[in-house]
Amino acid sequence: MPFLFDIKRYSINDGPGVRVTVFFKGCPLSCRWCHNPESISFKTEKLYNKSKCIGCGSCVAVCPEKALTLTETDGVITDFEKCILCGKCAEVCPTKAIEMSGRNYSEEEVMAAVLKETHMMDASGGGVTFSGGEPLMYPAALKSLLIRCGREGIHRAVDTSGSVRSAVVEDILPYTDLFLYDLKVMNAKTHRTWVGADNTLILKNLRLISDNDKEYHIRIPLVEGVNTDNENIMETIAFLNGLKRKPTVVGLLPYHNIASKKYEKLGKTYSENGMAEPSQERLAQILSAFTKNGLNAVIGG
C-alpha cells in the first residue's frame, strides 16, 4: 500500500507538461540541504506552524493522551513521549496550524486523483510523476501504479535518488517512460559526508537506465561548499558523456534555504553550516561547462 505525504495537482516542475505528482514518504538518504524534510521519515509526522495558530485550544481539548500544552510564548507544545500521532488535533484545528504528514493510501485513491486530471495532462503533454522521498522504496506499490497508469495511456515519470537495489530499478524499467534522476556529488567520500550514503549504487543504477535506452533527466542541486568546485563539475560531465545514452536535459538547481521553515514545523533544527547559494557568476560558469561539453543544461528544471 502506498505510504504518501502528498498528491500535488497542476505540477509544472516534475517532468514535461502539467502533471500530477505523487509523493511517497521515506528516503534512504539524508541530504543536508533537503528541501522536503517531511519526506525523509518512513513514519507519520506532525507539523506545527506557530504563525497560523490562533491559540483557541481546540487541539489541547481533543487530545486523548493529554500530550499538548498551550503556552503564551511558544504556542502549542507537544510532548512526543505521550503523543501517539492519532491526528485528532489536526482534524479540529480551524487554521490548519497543525497538519499530519504521511498516511497509507489505497491504489484506488491514488488512481482516482490521477485520472481526475487526464484532461489537463492530455492538453499539456503531461502525465504523472512518482516522487518522494524515494518512490522505489515501495517497489510493489510503485510498479502496480505504473502499470495501471500505462493502461490508461498516461505518461509515467519516476523521480529517484537511485539509492536502491538495482533489481528494483530493473523491475520497473518496462513501465517507466522517463526517469528524473538526482546526481549530487561524484566523490564517494564527499557524498557520504553530505548525503549520508555512498554513491556507488547511484552511479551503477544511472548506467543501468542509460544502457537500457530509457529517457532520463538529470537534476543536480548546486550547493556552494559541497559540489560546485571545478573538479566535481568536470567529473560529472565526464561521467554523463561516458554513458550509452545521454540525458535529455541536465537541470542545475541552485541551493536555497527556504525549507528552513519546514524544519521548524517538524520541531527540527536546520543548519546551513558549510552550505551557501552559488553566485550568478558561478552558475553561469557551470552552465557553460556543461553546454560546451555537449550536454543540454538549463538553470532550474
The pLDDT value recorded for residue 267 is: 87
Residue 243 has pLDDT above 90, yes or no: yes
The pLDDT confidence band at residue 272, using thresholds 50, 70 and 90, is confident
- Residue range 179-238, pLDDT digits in tens: 999 999 999 999 999 999 999 999 999 999 999 999 999 999 999 999 999 999 999 999
Number of domains within the chain? 2
Q: Helices marked H in the chain — which ranges?
A: 58-62, 88-92, 107-115, 118-124, 139-151, 166-172, 188-195, 200-211, 230-241, 260-265, 280-292
86 and 22, same structural domain? Answer: no
Domain CATH for 199: 3.20.20.70
84 and 216, same structural domain? Answer: no
pTM of the model: 0.93
121 and 62, same structural domain? Answer: no
Q: Span 40-53, mean pLDDT? A: 95
The pLDDT value recorded for residue 199 is: 96
131 and 210, same structural domain? Answer: yes
Dihedral sign for Cα atoms in the order 75, 81, 86, 88: negative
Write out the residue range of the structural domain in which residue 26 sits.
3-41+103-299
